[in-house]
Amino acid sequence: MVTRIPDGVRSAACNAVVDRVDAGTTNASGRLRVYSGPQPASANSAPTGTLLAEVPLALPAFTEASNGVATLLGVPLTTDGLEAGTAGWFRIVDRDVVTVLDGSAGTAGTQLILNTATISPGVTVQINSGTITMPGSEP
């Protein structure tokens, strides 16, 4: 059987996840970190690859979800590259630096869209858009 979730519930689930980005008190906002290499098998795993860039997020960080999709606010976001490498994935941490989620990063066809996947120290990295989507069905 296939599990199916109606749009309203998908949106509520998505909001529950992205609202975690704004949780905490240590920092003024959550952070988005871009790494090289493949994404870890689980968001519970330690980051893999090289930390290429980090940018503070808006507060709140995401729109209210519609049809299970929340969109990153404050874009474009810019920061300077920290290390050299090719972006492969991203991780978002809350204000207390607790992992909330991670996903794919690149210039097209990924959850996080960058101006370039090739990042160098001191060179501007621009985050053009980002979305988090809760699935509507699972086999």
Is residue 124 within 8 Å of residue 80, measured between CB atoms?
A: yes
What is the chain's pLDDT, residue by residue, as a tens digit (139 residues)? Answer: 688 889 999 999 999 999 999 999 999 999 999 999 999 999 999 999 999 999 999 999 999 999 999 999 999 999 999 999 999 999 999 999 999 999 999 999 999 999 999 999 999 999 999 999 998 876 6
**CA pair distance 131, 106, nearest whole angstrom:** 13
The alpha carbon dihedral of 59, 61, 63, 67 has a sign of negative
Q: CA-CA distance, 13 to 136, in Å (whole number)? A: 11
